[in-house]
Amino acid sequence: MQSQLASTKATVLDMLAVNQVVKAKVEQDCNRVRSLTMACIEDGAANAIALDELRAERAVLKHKTMALSDLLAVFRSA
């Protein structure tokens, strides 16, 4: 799982290398997801809380990705 997260992070950051602001925000999101994932794996009693936070973060990232995709489509069509 760690290698998959690292690979995905590297791919996304490579695509965003031209925009440092967006790149920094994506890196923050990736770090937050990684820490929540590690909390889910490591914590026994608090696993449910970390899992709920991870699900919420996933929903936020899904909406951010859809918005970014729509924005890129607009720029490409212009």
pLDDT tens-digit profile of 19-69?
A: 777 778 888 888 888 888 888 888 765 678 888 888 898 899 888 888 887
**Residue 58: CB atoms within 10 Å:** 12
pLDDT value, residue 56:
92
The pLDDT score that the predictor gives to residue 69 is 79
Instruction: Summarize the confidence of residues 2-31 as an average pLDDT.
Output: 77
C-alpha angle with apex 66: 41 to 21, nearest 5 degrees?
80
Q: What is the pTM of this model?
A: 0.61
C-beta neighbour count of 26 within 10 angstroms: 19
pLDDT at 4 over 70: yes
Alpha helices in the chain (DSSP H): 2-15, 20-42, 47-77
